[in-house]
Amino acid sequence: MENDFLTLPDIADRLGIPESSVRFYIERFEAYIPSLEVDGEVVYRPEAVEIVRMIHSLFSSDQRPSEIEARLARLYPRTVRVDDGTELVEVLRAETTALSQQLAGVVLPVLVRQTQAMERLADSVEKLSSREEELAAFKKTADALTKLAEKEEPRALRSIADAVTELARDGGARPESAVLERTASALETLVSRDNQIKTLESQLEELRKLHEAVDLKRRIMEARRDREQREYYKQTEERIKELLSQNKKPWWKFWQ
């Protein structure tokens, strides 16, 4: 198994670069070079060759150490070399605690901001829902008034319907006082006309009663006239019979 690991000179031989350069690369970026200490000697895994090759290539292209480390962090995991007598569990626990603290410092504020944003969104949705219900009620009122205006009190009801429709259409984007003032004015007109209608209805009721009285009197007079005519016809018939009885002539010769 030890044959699977490489020493620092082995890496230098495989890459064909000086040992001093390999030592500098490994010491500078030790966290990304997979290594292990065996019998007091540090050895490296075979994949360390490609990592050192990349570091050497980046240095040759004038990359800064910070840029090289950032690239290594994206491509390779950090490694932990365990010395003799050191518990691996404790090392991992320390790394995990540090990482958790870093994540808590970054993630928790994001979660708090997301929660606050969701609460504001929920509040906005609730207000919007309430506003939509209000606008729907305005639209239903406008529709009902429009249908009513087609049958009676067209001007006043049409004015109310137009005002409510405008209020529903604007949805509160403009001041509502002007619309409500027009609505109140139209309602006052409607109330005034309603009072006039009640007065006219009262006068009409009186005229109806007067008409009924006149009609009743007319029928009485007609009945009286009919009765007088019937009495006249009866008296005339009796007179004719009396004359006929006195003359002793056949009735068909009476007029001769």
**Cβ-Cβ contacts under 8 Å for 210 (sequence gap 6 or more):** none
Q: How far is CA 227 from CA 212, 214, 233, 234, 238, in A?
A: 22, 20, 10, 10, 16
pLDDT band per the 50, 70, 90 thresholds, residue 127: confident
Tokens for 48? 């360390």
Q: Compare 236 and 253 and report the one with higher pLDDT.
A: 236
d(CA 144, CA 131): 20
pLDDT band per the 50, 70, 90 thresholds, residue 1: very low
- Domain spans in the chain, listed from the N-terminal domain onward: 2-83
Dihedral (CA of 48, 50, 54, 59) sign: positive
| Residue located via tokens 């890496």 | 11
Q: Amino acid identity, residue 131?
A: R
Residues 141-178 have pLDDT tens digits of: 667 766 666 665 556 666 666 776 676 665 555 555 56
Q: For the chain, how are helix, strand and coil distributed in percent, rounded to 5?
A: 80, 5, 20
CATH number for domain 2-83, candidates 1.10.3720.10, 1.10.1660.10, 3.40.50.300, 3.40.50.2000? 1.10.1660.10
Residues 177-215 have pLDDT tens digits of: 566 667 667 667 766 776 776 877 888 788 688 778 778
Dihedral (CA of 110, 116, 120, 126) sign: positive
d(CA 229, CA 223): 10
Look over the chain and give the mean of its residue pLDDT values, rounded to a whole number.
Answer: 76
Residues 78-123 have pLDDT tens digits of: 765 555 444 444 445 555 665 666 666 766 677 778 778 778 877 7
